[in-house]
C-alpha cells in the first residue's frame, strides 16, 4: 500500500511562521525531504527516528535536479511511508510545488498541500513595507525575477506592470536585478520610483536596502547583498521609515552562543530571539542521573529527621521532588521541614510544586545564603539536607558545619560535556559567519566550553564578547584564560539578558 506525500510550506525563514498543521505533520512523518532555505530550527521538530533528505538547491553548487526530487518522493511514498516535502515559503508560489503534485497525481500517489507563508509577503512585512495601503497601492503583483526580460515570448506583461499605482514584488531577482530595473524604466516607470531589496527576509541576518530605480543596483552592490532576496517596487516603500520594526529590535542580528544544557536553554533562547538576536545552541552540559540512588532514597525515607532542605539549583529541585513518587512519597512528607533556596528562579520552581520557601537571600550565591542563615537562625544543632550536583561548590556545607550544623550533602546529579569532540566543525562555521557573544550561566558551562574548544581556544578568543551570569562564573572564566566583558548584576537569566541589552544600547 502506498503512503502519502504532503507538500508543506516551511515559510520564509522565521520558524515561528510555520503553520500549526505543518508542525503537526513534521512530528509524525517518516521522511522529510527539505530545501536549502528551510530553517534548521524547524527541523528540530521532526521525530527522532525520521529520515532527513537534504535536496536543497544552492546557486552555483551541486544540487538535486527536479526530476531526482520527484523520484525520491515517489520512491518513498511507494514504500508506504508518510513523506513531507518541506519547501521554503509556499509550495505553490514559485516553488515548483505544482510540478511535484502533478507527478504524484500521474502515478496515483495520495498527496496534500499545506500552504506556507510566502517570502513575497513576509519579507516586505519584516522590512516594514506593507504591500498595500489605500493611499499608495490597491494592487499587488508577484513576479518571478529569473525570467529573461528579453525573451520574445515572455509570460510577463511588462507594459501592464508599469501602469497605475501598484506594488510589484519580484522573487529570486538578485542576479537579474539590472535587467528588471532597465525593463521597468523602459516600459514607463519613473526612475525615481521607490524600491527596496530585502535579503534573508525574516531571518535575523535580514538586510534591507532602499533606493529608487535609478540607483538601486548601485546601492545593492555597495551593500554587498546576496541571494535570497526579494525586490519590492512601489510607493509603499516609503512607509518603511515609520514601520521598520524588525530591524530595530534591540539585539537585532547579534549572534549569541548559548552554552547551557539543551534542557535548560529554552528560556534564554526564546528571550534572545524575541529581542532580535540569533541564538546559537552549543550545549556544553548534559545532565545525568546518579549512578546509585541508594543514598538519595535513604535521605528521602528519613526526610522528617531534617530541619532544613537547601536547594541551590532548579535541577536539584526537580530531580529531588520527582524522585518522591518512586518511594511512594509526596510533598506531604516534607511537612515540618523548612526550605531554603538560592535565587528567585529556584524559589519559583519550588512554588510550582506548592512548596513555601522560608529563606531566600537577595543575592544568588552560596555565600549570601550562608550569611542569611547566620543572621536569621541558630545554626547550632540544626540538621541540613543539601541536594546538589556532583562537584558543586562546598562553601555552604562547610560554613554550616563550622557554625555547628549537621549537614548531609546529597549528590543528586552529575554533568558531563555534551560535545564529545564535536566542536571543531562547529567552530569552523562560527569563524566563517562570525559570533557576537558567548554566554556562560555557570562555572560548569565555562569549563566544558574550554574542554570542547580544546586547542582552538586561542584561535577563537577575541572574536566575540563574553557575558557571565555572576561572579563565581566570571572567576572560573578568568582562571581559564577567558576575558569576561560583562557580568550580570542580578545573577539570573533575565539579569544576564538585561546586562547584554544595556551593553548593546549604551
Q: What is the pLDDT of residue 62?
A: 65
Alpha-carbon span 281 to 284, nearest angstrom:
9
Give the CATH fold of the 121-248 domain: 3.30.950
Residue 447 annotated to the active site: no
Contact predicate 256/265, CB 8 Å:
no
Whether 356 has a pLDDT exceeding 80, the answer reads yes
pLDDT tens digits, 280-324 = 888 887 888 888 899 999 999 999 999 999 998 888 999 999 999
Ramachandran bin of 170, using left for φ above 0, alpha for ψ from -120 to 50, beta for the remaining angles: beta
The CATH number fitting domain 4-117, selected from 3.40.309.10, 3.40.1010.10, 3.30.460.80, 3.30.360.10: 3.40.1010.10
Q: 502 or 430: whose pLDDT is higher?
A: 502
Percentage of the chain surpassing pLDDT 90? 67
| 82 catalytic residue (yes or no) | no
As a whole number, mean pLDDT of residues 146-166 equals: 79
Q: Is pLDDT at 162 greater than 70 in this prediction?
A: yes
- Which residue in 14, 81, 90, 172 is the catalytic one? 172
**Average of per-residue pLDDT values in the chain:** 90
pLDDT tens per residue, range 110-129: 999 999 999 999 999 999 99
- Count of residues making up the chain: 506
Give Rg (Cα) of the chain: 29
Ramachandran assignment for 218, one of left (phi > 0), alpha (psi -120 to 50 degrees), beta (any other): alpha
| CATH architecture for the domain at 291-417 | 3-Layer(aba) Sandwich (3.40)
Lowest mean pLDDT among 17-26, 153-162, 437-446: 153-162
pLDDT digits (tens, 9 = 90+) for 55-77: 986 555 567 899 999 999 999 99
Give pLDDT, residue 61. 59
For 132, phi then psi, to 5°, come to -130, 150
Query: H or E element: which one contains 287?
Result: strand 285-288
Spatial neighbors of 347 by CB under 8 A, at least 6 apart, are 341, 357, 360
pLDDT tier, 180 (very low <50, low <70, confident <90, very high otherwise):
very high
The per-residue pLDDT for 275 is: 94
Of 14, 30, 35, 90, the active-site residue reads 35
- DSSP labels, 341-358: ESSHHHHHHHHHTT---S
User: Is 148 assigned a catalytic role?
Assistant: no
Domain parsing of the chain, residue ranges: 4-117, 121-248, 255-284+418-505, 291-417
pLDDT of residue 420: 60
Return the CATH number of 255-284+418-505, one of 3.30.499.10, 3.30.70.100, 3.40.1360.10, 3.40.50.10090: 3.40.50.10090
Same topology for domains 255-284+418-505 and 291-417, yes or no? yes
Q: Which of 4, 41, 57, 187 is catalytic?
A: 57
Amino acid at each position: 500500500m502506498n503512503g502519502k506525500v504532503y507538500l508543506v510550506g516551511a515559510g520564509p525563514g522565521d520558524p515561528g511562521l510555520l503553520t500549526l498543521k505543518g508542525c503537526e505533520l513534521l512530528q509524525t512523518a517518516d521522511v522529510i525531504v527539505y530545501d536549502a532555505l528551510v530553517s534548521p530550527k524547524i527541523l528540530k521538530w521532526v521525530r527522532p527516528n525520521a529520515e532527513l533528505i537534504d535536496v536543497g538547491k544552492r546557486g552555483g553548487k551541486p544540487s538535486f535536479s527536479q526530476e531526482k526530487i520527484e523520484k525520491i518522493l515517489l520512491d518513498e511514498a511507494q514504500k508506504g511511508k508518510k513523506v513531507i516535502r518541506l519547501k521554503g515559503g509556499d509550495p505553490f508560489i514559485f516553488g515548483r510545488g505544482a510540478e511535484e503534485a502533478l507527478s504524484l497525481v500521474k502515478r496515483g500517489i495520495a498527496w496534500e498541500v499545506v500552504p506556507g507563508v510566502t517570502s513575497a509577503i513576509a519579507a516586505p512585512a519584516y522590512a516594514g513595507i506593507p504591500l498595500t495601503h489605500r493611499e499608495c497601492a490597491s494592487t499587488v503583483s508577484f513576479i518571478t525575477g529569473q525570467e529573461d526580460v528579453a525573451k520574445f515570448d515572455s509570460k510577463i506583461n511588462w507594459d501592464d506592470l508599469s501602469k497605475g499605482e501598484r506594488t510589484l514584488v519580484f522573487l529570486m531577482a538578485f542576479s537579474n536585478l539590472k535587467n528588471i530595473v532597465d525593463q521597468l524604466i523602459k516600459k514607463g516607470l519613473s526612475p525615481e520610483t521607490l524600491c527596496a531589496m530585502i535579503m534573508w527576509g525574516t531571518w535575523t541576518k535580514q538586510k534591507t536596502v532602499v533606493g529608487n530605480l535609478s540607483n538601486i543596483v548601485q546601492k545593492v552592490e555597495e551593500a554587498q547583498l546576496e541571494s535570497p532576496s526579494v525586490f519590492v517596487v512601489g510607493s509603499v516603500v516609503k512607509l518603511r521609515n515609520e514601520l521598520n520594526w524588525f530591524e530595530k529590535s534591540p539585539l537585532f542580528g547579534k549572534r549569541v552562543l548559548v552554552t547551557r544544557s539543551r534542557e535548560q536553554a529554552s528560556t534564554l533562547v526564546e528571550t534572545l530571539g524575541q529581542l532580535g538576536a540569533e541564538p546559537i545552541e552549543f550545549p556544553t552540559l548534559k545532565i545525568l542521573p546518579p549512578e546509585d540512588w541508594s543514598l538519595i532514597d535513604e535521605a528521602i525515607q528519613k526526610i522528617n529527621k531534617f530541619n532544613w532542605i537547601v536547594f541551590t539549583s532548579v535541577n536539584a529541585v526537580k530531580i529531588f521532588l520527582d524522585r518522591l513518587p518512586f518511594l511512594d512519597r509526596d510533598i506531604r512528607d516534607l511537612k515540618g521541614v523548612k526550605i531554603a533556596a538560592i535565587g528567585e528562579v529556584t524559589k519559583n520552581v519550588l512554588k510550582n510544586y506548592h512548596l513555601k520557601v522560608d529563606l531566600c537571600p537577595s543575592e544568588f550565591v552560596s555565600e549570601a545564603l550562608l550569611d542569611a542563615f547566620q543572621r536569621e537562625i541558630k545554626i547550632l544543632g540544626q540538621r541540613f539536607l543539601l541536594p546538589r550536583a556532583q562537584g558543586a561548590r562546598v562553601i555552604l556545607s562547610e560554613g554550616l558545619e563550622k557554625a555547628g550544623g549537621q549537614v548531609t550533602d546529597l549528590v543528586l546529579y552529575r554533568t558531563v560535556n555534551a560535545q564529545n569532540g564535536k566542536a571543531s566543525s562547529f567552530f569552523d562555521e562560527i569563524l566563517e559567519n562570525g559570533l557576537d557573544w558567548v554566554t556562560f550561566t555557570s562555572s560548569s558551562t565555562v569549563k566544558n566550553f574550554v574542554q570542547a574548544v580544546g586547542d582552538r581556544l586561542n584561535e577563537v578568543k577575541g572574536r566575540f564578547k563574553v557575558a557571565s551570569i555572576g561572579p563565581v562564573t566570571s572567576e572560573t572564566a578568568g582562571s581559564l584564560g577567558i576575558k569576561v566583558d560583562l557580568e550580570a548584576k542580578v545573577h539570573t537569566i533575565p539579569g544576564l539578558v538585561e546586562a547584554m541589552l544595556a551593553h548593546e544600547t549604551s
